Homo-oligomer: A and B are copies of this chain.
Amino acid sequence: MTKRASTIQDVADKAKVSIKTVSRVINNEPNVAIKTVKKVETAIKQLEYQPNAFAQSLARSKPKIISLIYDTPSPNYISHIMEGVLSFCYKAGYEVIIHPLRFNEIGMLRSAEQFIKKSRLAGLIVTPPHSDNIEFIKLIEKLDLPKVLISSGLDLDQSDCIKTNDEEISIEMTNYLIKSGHRKIAFIKGHPTHLSVNQRFIGFQKAMKDANINIDNSLVENGLNSLLSGEQCAERLLNLSNRPTAIFASNDEMAAGVIKVAYKKGIRIPDDLSVVGFDDSPMTEMITPPLTTVRQPLDAIGEKSAQKLIDKLEDRDISHESIIKSEIIFRESVTRLH
């Protein structure tokens, strides 16, 4: 008894048809007699046959393989995006290669190019911060590869992007703080190269302007998306004589930093200070108090990206909605001011 996996030839022999006919059945091609289809399907089942994906890729002009390119954002972010991408691709019969690419590494572009060529990819899904990297986008275009960029801050063809409504939801969040009676609202910006994160600040500004509240520049801090940078910003903010009553951090980690510092200083949350974050990372429920934040449907973003890319690859209509809406998750870190 051989352990060799069965091939299309085995199926053909068993069903007493040609290889090509088996191939037709596998790929749902027309013009095969129903009787033949049945015969072949039985043989496939008996042999537990599965087509060899690499041979298929080689024989087809376009291999059914795409790649998800990421750097090292939060594990939570990437693993949920991945989940969505994988689940859609699996259904659509595509293989996915997950590929990490270090943003600042020298030779990053070259290694990316090597990877893409070697794998003969059909298309690419790119997550931030790479989706903001013009050099990288140019490379993809040079290689003439279909792509979908997630949350790119770049001004690109709509058909290449999946966006979130960061600006809009930040307006909503800011309005929520304003409606809760807050006027002295501080904002902690995100990492400067992370363009889409900066949409959040723009939303904040707009909402403040619409409410006719001046933004005090000393209440705007530049964070780096990390816990530590959140702590540092909070340190400055909370030492101010004109201390804010609410802080809007561009992501949850920085918000957690704020809460830590506040705790250390004996500032109670939400009683003395309201804090909101962005991302709804798992720890928002674990800290005290649970953090009010914005949830992006990451799985859905992943799925939509995959769908969009595959639709492109198969020359299908790509009129799908490309903006995926986030929602505010109200928890316990905000108080209403009297």
Contact = CB atoms under 8 A, between A and B. Distances in A.
Interface of A: 3, 5, 48-55, 57-58, 63, 65, 72, 74-76, 78-80, 82-83, 86-87, 95-100, 113-114, 117-120, 143-144, 227, 253, 256-257, 259-260, 263, 282-283, 285-288
A118 B55 CA distance: 10
B50 A114 contact: yes
A69 to B, nearest CB: 12
A34 to B, nearest CB: 24
Nearest to A83: B100
Nearest to A79: B75
Contacts of A119: 53-54, 95
A120 B83 contact: no
Contacts of A74: 282
Contact of A53 (B120, B286, B287): B120
A98 B100 contact: no
A309 B37 CA distance: 40
A286 B288 contact: no
A287 B283 contact: yes
Contact of A54 (B63, B86, B100, B259): B63
A97 B97 CA distance: 6
Q: Is the interface of A mostly helix, strand, loop or mixed?
A: helix
A57 B118 CA distance: 12
Residue of A54, A74, A76, A97 with most partner-chain B CB within 10 A: A54
Given A74-B282, A87-B100, A287-B288, 15 more contacts: A3-B144, A5-B120, A50-B117, A52-B118, A54-B65, A54-B120, A75-B76, A75-B80, A78-B79, A96-B98, A97-B97, A227-B285, A260-B288, A263-B288, A287-B287
A58 B51 CA distance: 12
Contacts of A87: 100
Contact of A113 (B3, B48, B55, B99): B48
A228 to B, nearest CB: 9
Contacts of A118: 50-53
A117 B283 contact: no
A287 B290 CA distance: 10
A151 B140 CA distance: 39
A260 B286 contact: yes
A31 to B, nearest CB: 25
B117 A282 contact: no
A51 B118 CA distance: 5
Given A52-B118, A63-B54, A98-B86, A256 B78 contact: no
A262 to B, nearest CB: 10
A44 to B, nearest CB: 11
Contacts of A263: 288
